[in-house]
Every structure is written in structure tokens, then in C-alpha cells.
Amino acid sequence: MRKRDFFFGEVYEGSAGATLRLSDMEPLARKVSAEFFTAQLNRMLKEHDGQLTLSDGTSYPSFWSFIDKVVPEQVGFVEIYARQDVNDNVEATLACDIVLVNGVITVKPHWCAYKDIRADEVISTLLVPLHLKALQGKAYIRWDDGETEPLLQNDDYQAELENVFSVSKYPSAMSWGDTADQKVKQYKMDLECATDVGCRGVSSEQAWDAYRELRYNRTV
């Protein structure tokens, strides 16, 4: 069943709560403060038994535009895990659950590491935004058996990458091709730069500008 919400617009209501398009979040988020945006998310969760799904049909969703306007202090924790119900053509896709006061927001695009360009997108549109928002300390990998472990431990970015690609069902993403070592080095640098910027507490375009500048300075 579909209905109109005064803030979010078209909402699909089903047995698993409410579903919105992730791409619709970007123009809304630009209009309001993080506090207002987060309050609206919590309202939507309260109205739908604590379940809200943000879907996206691409492997490069505008996740940053969304997570940038979620107040970090109101995030309980984040879990990254594999799903087999999104794309039958791959082993699995990744999803991200964000726990707020009133429930769980499931971000469900087509993140998948089945080839190098898709693996790049997992880094740039999932992991880098989490680090830029300084949420890596609240983020966990959820394995298929339900067990969890911290996304980042002791600044070990290599282990973070290995675990993310392992849970994605494509652990070989760390070793594809003749340039695998260089690719892993790049991924680690991306996460290090995003973490450094996240510590500054900047947001929106300032965060991305600072990230790009830092990344550039470390490659020249």
C-alpha cells in the first residue's frame, strides 16, 4: 500500500514496515538541518513499528547525502551484512542497518564486490561515508550466523577491508589482477583519509573537499 507523507512524500507500507527511495533523501536532506532530518526519520520509525527501508537500484547509491544528515550522537550502532534477496545474479549484496532511538533503518542498494569496479563502489559509497561521519567506532560486521565484530579494530584497515569483502561473499576482491597490491594500498589510504577528516567534525561538501585534498596530498 502506498501513502503520502508530508515530509518524505510517497511511502510504500508493507509487512516489513515502510520503504522509501534512498535517492529521494538527497533533496530533502539539503533543505533541513541534521536535527530536523533525524527527527523525521525517528517519526517514520515510530509510525511503522520501528522498521524503515531505504532502497536503491544501483551499486553506487547516494548514501553520503543521507548519512551526512543523521546526527551521529543519535546512532546507536551500524551493522553491515550480506543479503541474498536483492540480486539473483550475484552471490550476495551488502546492506547496512542503522539503529536509531525508534528503530532500525535498513539501507538496501546493490552494493556488491563481484568485480573490481563494484568493489571500488563499496569503498567509496559505503565505507568512506561511514568513516567521514566518524561512525566506524559504532559500526560492526554481522556474519551469517548472527555474530558481530567491530568494523575497525586498532586502526587495522587491512582487516576491515578483508572482513567487508569476506561478508560480501567476494573475499577475492582483495587479490584480483596484477595490480591487487596497489588497489589494496589505495583502499587503505581512502579509509585513513576519511577517518582523519571524520575526526574534524566537518560535514557536507566541506567533508568531501577535505577528503579529496588530503587524498591528493598523500598521492603526490
pLDDT in tens, 84-102: 999 999 999 999 999 999 9
In tens, the pLDDT along 179-220 reads: 678 889 999 999 999 999 999 998 889 999 999 999 999 887
pLDDT number for residue 111 = 98
Q: 161 lies in which domain range?
A: 2-217
What dihedral do alpha carbons 200, 76, 184, 213 form, nearest 10°?
A: -20
pLDDT number for residue 179 = 67
pLDDT number for residue 121 = 97
pTM across the whole model? 0.95
Residue ranges of the chain with per-residue pLDDT less than 70: 176-179
Map residue 138 onto helix, strand or coil: helix
pLDDT number for residue 219 = 86
Cα–Cα separations (whole angstroms), residue 110 to 11, 27, 188 = 20, 21, 22
Number of domains in the chain: 1
